[in-house]
Chains A and B, each alone.
Chain A
Amino acid sequence: MKKGWITFAVVAAAGLVHAAMDPVEGTNVVGFVEIPAAAAKNTIVAVPFEACMQAGVASKLSDLVATYGLTHASDPGSADQLVVLTTDATGPIYYYYYNQTGVGWTPITTEQLMPDGTKKELTPPAASTFDIARGQGFWIKRTAGAGSSVYVKGQVSTAKQSTTIGEGLNLISYAGLTAFDLNDLDWAGAVGANGISATTDRILVSKGDGTYYTTYHYYTGGSKTQFNGKWVTTTGGIALPAADIPAGQGFWYYRRSGNGTFTFKPDGE
């Protein structure tokens, strides 16, 4: 048989087999998002995904943050670093990881300066065991000369987001896959007070240039009724946010003392 006929027969057989198969369907869709993260700057990242093949389960730090395009080195000071906020018996703490050449995200043992002047040694768990829940934020510190993006990956969730926000500072995000506007989300549970006061909740979004944040205040019950239930800027004058927040970018939510805990359900119940 000539070569052409053999090829034709193989392609035809493959076509018949393909036609006989049912399409693969399921919820285990893997996705990735490119997040702007400038060199020599610190960026708040938030992963909108969950663990692969485990719907509803928090993923591990090493699985979620791709090292593709990041700066690696044999010493922490020369490599890109991840900084995650967590708590221990003494309160909030930060764990550090760096992109070690040939290894990936590697814990860095650090010392935390305590208010009384003492130092406490912090040894993070392996990045492969550190849980990062969908909607939880953390920092990436880029080295000088590094690229301008970081990629996060995981399983696309089919469930609505539910993130607990306690009193104080919370590092969170909206776990969507596209850029979003704060005022398009459901903020039931956010606290304002007759316009804006000392008890009003705040959101701080990084400008990405190393300077201070853009601060948004939750406005309710004031005379400017067009802003009721909205996050607004107040510097100079009162206004609505001007720009969308990129998918995968996190922010601080400052829950004022006395306002209690609430569950952030951006997509509604």
Chain B
Amino acid sequence: MNKTVLTACLVFLTGVLASQAVVIGWAAESVPTGTEYASLVYVADGNAPSINNNVWSPGVESLAWNVNAFEGTTLFPQETTDATTRNAGAYYVVLFNYTDGQYAVSQSSLAWNDTASISTSEFDIITDYFTPNSFTGWAPVPEPSTAMLLVVGAAVAALRRRKHM
């Protein structure tokens, strides 16, 4: 059945969408060795997200986290609700290896208005799942304590250098 035609029918059926919340269908394939959990994040500017000092880069919102429905290197299909109305941006899948304190980001993203993987109401059924199969290499997640030690260490080194001058 043609999704576009059906969607037109269904949108017509409802007349007015009941809610601005959307449901995002997502999954993952070929996740790298060491993956323990997956997350879905929204990024306002559409650029790939990053983590600094345990904090997401600006404009990133985590919508689903600690998902571990894996079979081998595949993450089973997920359906996650985004309660915020979007008019720009994109969604990414982020993988975590907590054991080694690392994360990896999908190299493809899902546009905020994708009609196949994003449902806007119960009459608009997800027909495809956003399924990235390529990810960046593992990057370390610096812990705040580690970062703080680095800062303190740098300050001490600077003070010593000053005293020696």
A237 and B72 CA atoms in complex are apart in Å by 14
Q: Which of B2, B9, B81, B129 has the most CB of A within 10 A?
A: B9
A91 contacts the other chain (Cβ, under 8 Å)? yes
A169 to B6, CA, bound (A): 9
* Cα distance, A254 to B72, chains bound together (Å): 25
In the complex with contacts A167-B1, A169-B125, A212-B119 CB distance below 8 A:
yes
Stretch binding the partner chain, chosen from B11-19, B42-50, B150-158: B11-19
The interface size of chain A toward B, counting residues with CB under 8 Å, comes to 39
Most-contacted residue by chain B among A83, A204, A234 (CB, 10 A)? A234
> How far is B110's CA from A174's CA once the two chains are assembled, in angstroms?
36
**Is B1 a contact partner of A215 (Cβ separation < 8 A)?**
no
Interchain CA distance A140-B76 in the complex, whole Å: 32
Q: Counting CB contacts under 8 A, is A238 at the interface?
A: yes
**What distance in Å separates the Cβ of A135 from its nearest Cβ neighbour in chain B?**
18
The residue in chain B whose Cβ has the minimal distance to the Cβ of A40 is B18
CA distance A217 to B25 in the complex (A): 13
- Bound complex: CA of A224 vs CA of B76, how far in Å? 12
For residue B124, which residue of chain A has the nearest CB? Answer: A212
In the assembled complex, the Cα of A113 lies from the Cα of B10 at a distance in Å of: 10
| Contact, CB under 8 Å: B122 / A217 | no
Taken together as a complex, chains A and B put the C-alpha atoms of A215 and B80 apart, in Å, by: 12
Chain B residue numbers with a CB within 8 Å of A90 are 5
Is B77 located at the chain interface by the 8 A CB criterion? yes
Any chain B CB within 8 A of the CB of A93?
A: yes
Taking CB atoms, residues of chain B closer than 8 Å to A169 are 1, 6, 125
Min Cβ gap A164→B in Å is 14
A197 vs chain B, min Cβ distance (A): 8
Interfacial residues of chain A within 201-220, with CB under 8 A of chain B in the complex: 204, 206, 210-213, 215, 217
Q: What class of interface size applies to chain B in its complex with A? A: 35 or more
User: Is A26 an interface residue, CB under 8 A from the partner?
Assistant: no
Contact B8 A215 (CB under 8 A): no
Cβ of A92 under 8 Å from chain B? yes
- The residue from B4, B18, B69, B126 contacting A115, defined by CB atoms under 8 A apart: B4
Q: Is the beta-carbon distance between B69 and A254 smaller than 8 angstroms?
A: no
Chain B nearest CB, measured from A34 CB (Å): 22
- B100 contacts chain A at the CB level, 8 A cutoff: no
B114 contacts the other chain (Cβ, under 8 Å)?
A: no
**B113 interface hit (Cβ, 8 Å):** no
Are A234 and B2 within 8 A (Cβ)?
A: no
Whether B74 pairs with A195 at a CB distance below 8 angstroms is: yes
Instruction: Give the residue of A92, A217, A235 whose beta carbon is less than 8 angstroms from that of B5.
Output: A92
Q: Are A237 and B68 in touch, CB under 8 angstroms?
A: yes
Instruction: Enumerate B71-92 residues with CB–CB distance to A below 8 Å.
Output: 71-72, 74, 76-81
Contact B2 A91 (CB under 8 A): yes
Least distance between B98 CB and chain A CB atoms (Å): 17
Contacts of A235 in B (CB 8 A): 69, 77-80
A252 within 8 Å of B by Cβ?
yes
Supply 6 A–B pairs (Cβ within 8 Å), ascending by A. Answer: A112-B9, A195-B74, A198-B128, A210-B19, A215-B79, A223-B72
Seen from chain B, the residues whose Cβ lies within 8 Å of a Cβ on chain A are: 1-2, 4-6, 8-13, 18-19, 21, 23, 67-69, 71-72, 74, 76-81, 119, 122-123, 125-129, 131
For the A-B complex with A112-B8, A113-B8, A115-B4 known, give 20 more contacts whose Cβ atoms are closer than 8 Å. Answer: A83-B13, A92-B5, A94-B9, A112-B9, A114-B5, A195-B72, A195-B76, A196-B74, A196-B77, A198-B131, A210-B18, A212-B23, A215-B77, A215-B79, A217-B77, A224-B71, A234-B78, A235-B79, A236-B78, A252-B125
3 pairs of A and B residues whose beta carbons are closest in the complex: A168-B1, A234-B76, A212-B23
